[in-house]
Amino acid sequence: MAPASFYPVTNTVCVMDASGSLGTALVERLLQRGYTVHAAVQTHGELKQLKGLMKEDDGEKRLKIFNCDLLDYYSIADALKGCSGLFYNFEPPRDQPTYDEHMMEVEVRAAQNVLEACAQSYTIDKVVFTSSITAVVWRDDRKSLPSDLDEKHWTDVNFCRKFKLWHALSKTLAEKSAWALAKDRDVNMVTINPGLLVGPDLSIKHPYLKGAAEMYEDGVFVTVDLKFLVDAHVCVFEDISTYGRYLCFDTVINGPENAIKLAKLLVPSASPQPQSFQDGEKTILQKISNKKLRELMSDFDAYEAREC
């Protein structure tokens, strides 16, 4: 049975921040599906790919680029004007890619500003908020849970502070702040919690990777392809039945083959078989589930054009 579609008041949506790999890919896919897109980019954002999209077909008519400061409520509100939906994901400044306490505070404040602007908007019908699997997996009792980790589980912020897991702490607090505001202000919001995004921009310095060995051993180290992540965002937005959180991944790194493949992506010059896998070839039992999203997307047609 095909999912029930969500038909917004207007066919205009906002992607914020649209300058990263996810944001740019979302803009492209939404244009392909017939939407008019407000691409909100921070001052540090890369605009080359977005400007390229404006030259394709009627992109100049259906794509508008906004400069947006996530700490400035009014610039957020300006980008949202006339939009029925928002796809939000936080991109740290390129000159400050490291997650620390300061970046955590920035991300939380940005999430609060964005949700407040949505609450004040007369046209926003739905928000898709991108969080992370790291807002799910880090907790003291993770090895003794009777069931797999899923959307019902939350990372323990005290655990993150203790071990300085700033990326996980930032994503957890930002998502919790967004949910608190959404519920208080009656904003229709769903979240996507993706695994590590695998793509050309991935490097060993990615903050998600802090604690990667522990995630591997726990059976919760997961990655996601950009195309699948984009499809998930569009599906969750367009399906009227969506609610709550959706864990998004398409690969579980739980055995030597996948681990070595990822290691080669992260460090191309690395040894073909890391020492950690020479002592045993066992596969770790997967302890995380994305069943809720898989069931939702079972009939989703990623390239079906919407009627405008």
Show which residues are catalytic. 171
Question: What does the radius of gyration of the chain's CA atoms come to, in whole angstroms?
Answer: 19
260 phi, psi to nearest 5 deg: -70, -40
Q: Two tokens at 249?
A: 């991944």
Omega within 30 of 0 (cis) for the link into 17: yes
* Alpha carbon distance 178, 234 (integer Å): 20
Q: Are β-strands 222-225 and 251-252 bridged in parallel, bridged antiparallel, or unpaired?
A: antiparallel
Segments of 157-274 assigned E as strands: 189-194, 196-198, 222-225, 244-248, 251-252
Q: Two tokens at 100?
A: 């620390």
Of 39, 120, 8, nearest in space to 74 by CA: 120
Q: What per-residue string of b and e applies to 69-97 under the rule 16 or more CB within 10 Å gives b?
A: ebeeeebbbebbebbbbbbbbbbbeeeee
Contact of 127 with 85, CB cutoff 8 Å: yes
Segments of 109-199 assigned E as strands: 126-130, 189-194, 196-198
* Alpha carbon distance 233, 128 (integer Å): 7
Residue tagged 């569009």 (tokens): 234
Q: Two tokens at 219?
A: 């059976």
Contact of 154 with 110, CB cutoff 8 Å: no
